[in-house]
Homo-oligomer: A and B are copies of this chain.
Amino acid sequence: MSRKPKKLLNNPNDVPAEQLEGLIYACGDKLIKVEGYSGVYRNDIKADQVVVVTGGGSGHEPMFAGYVGKGLADAAALGEIFASPSPDIIIETTKAAQKGQGVLFVYGNYAGDNMNFDIAAELLEEEGIQVKTVRVTDDISAAPLSRMSDRRGVAGDMYVLKIAGAAVEAGYDLDKVHEVTAKANFNTRTMGVALGACSIPQTGKFNFELADDELELGMGIHGEPGVRRQKMASADEINGEMIERLCADIELKAGDKVCVTINNLGASTYTELLIANRKVHQVLSECSIQIHDTLIGGYCTSQEMAGYSITIFRLDDELQKLYDMPCDSFAWRK
C-alpha cells in the first residue's frame, strides 16, 4: 500500500467551497447559498411550514447538500471534509431557512455534530426559534442494538430525511414531524464493507490501510474500524452475511415490507453494487420480505473509498405513504 491518493483538484483547502459551488450550479436556481457561511437552503420553502435542517462534514457528497429540495431537507449546514459544521454555520443556515413554525435538526450521530448542533439549538431557542432533533443511528456495526443511541449515522440519513421532508409536505406540525422522523430512524439499519481506503484532500493520505487481499466488514464512512478484517471472499458470502446481520438486527419477519439501498461509498463498480443487490433480493425473497423500492448508486460516499453499504428501511403504513410522496433534490428525485 505505497500508493498515494490521486484526485484531480485545485487547492485542497478550497475543496469544500468549490464542490458546493459546483453542486449549486447543478441545481439551477433551486438552492440558495447562505451568505458568508457554508450552508444552503431551498428557494421554495413555504411561509407556514416546519423546516428540516440537516448537515455534517463535507466529503460524503451528494450528502448533505444534495438532499436539500422539496420533500427532503430544507437546508444543510456543511463543515470541512469529515468535520462537523461549527455552531455559527448551523445557526445562520437555520435562520436563513426557518419560518417561525419550528425546526427539526436531522443529522448523523457523531460527537462533533452532536455538540455543535446542540449548541446551535440552545442559542436558537434563546432567540425564540423552537428546535427539535433526530440523530440518525443506522450503522449496526458501531454498537450493539441495546446501545442504539451510540451508533453512527451513515447512508440511512437519506431515508430519515425523506420521511421528515414528506411529513412537512403533508402538513405535520413540529411535534409530529419529530415523532415520525424518530420512527423512521428506528426503522433504518445499515452495514458497510470496504475494499480500499478513503483520503482527505488536505492531508493527501489514506485514513486507513487495507492489504491487497483483505476486506473490512462494518467500517464507518470516515474509516472508523469495523467488526472484522478478513481475506477477500466471494460476493455472495459477504453480501449474504451483511443482509442476514441487518435482518437479525431489525428483527424482520415474513410479510414485512422494506426499501433497500445499495450505496456506493466511492470507488466500487456498478457491477459489484448490482451483484450485491441480487443477493439481497434473493435472501429477502426467501424470507418472504416484500421489497417496496430499491436504490443503487452513490448516495452517501466517503471520498474514494472502494466499498459499499446496504441499508434496509422497514415501512409501516404511515412510513410507506410518506415514502411514496414525491421529492426533488440533486441526489434524489422521486
Contacts and interface: CB of A to CB of B under 8 A. Distances in A.
Given A6-B195, A22-B275, A212-B4, A270 B294 contact: no
Q: Which 7 A-B pairs have the closest CB atoms?
A: A22-B274, A61-B270, A267-B267, A22-B278, A19-B274, A25-B281, A22-B277
A271 B303 contact: yes
B3 A271 contact: no
Contacts of A20: 274
A114 to B, nearest CB: 25
A73 B158 CA distance: 29
Contacts of A207: none
Given A9-B275, A193-B8, A3 B212 contact: yes
A271 B26 contact: no
Given A25-B294, A277-B26, A271 B212 contact: no
Contacts of A9: 234-235, 271-272, 275
A106 interface: no
10 contacts: A6-B306, A7-B195, A8-B195, A8-B276, A18-B278, A21-B278, A23-B277, A28-B293, A59-B271, A266-B269
Interface in A113-158: none
Interface of A: 3-4, 6-10, 15, 18-23, 25-28, 59, 61-62, 193, 195-196, 201, 212, 215, 232, 234-236, 238-239, 264, 266-278, 281, 291, 293-298, 301, 303-304, 306, 330, 333-334
Contacts of A19: 270-271, 274-275, 278
Contacts of A10: 234-236, 275
A236 B14 CA distance: 12
- Assembly stoichiometry (copies): 2
Nearest to A294: B26
A212 B278 contact: no
A197 to B, nearest CB: 12
A147 B275 CA distance: 39
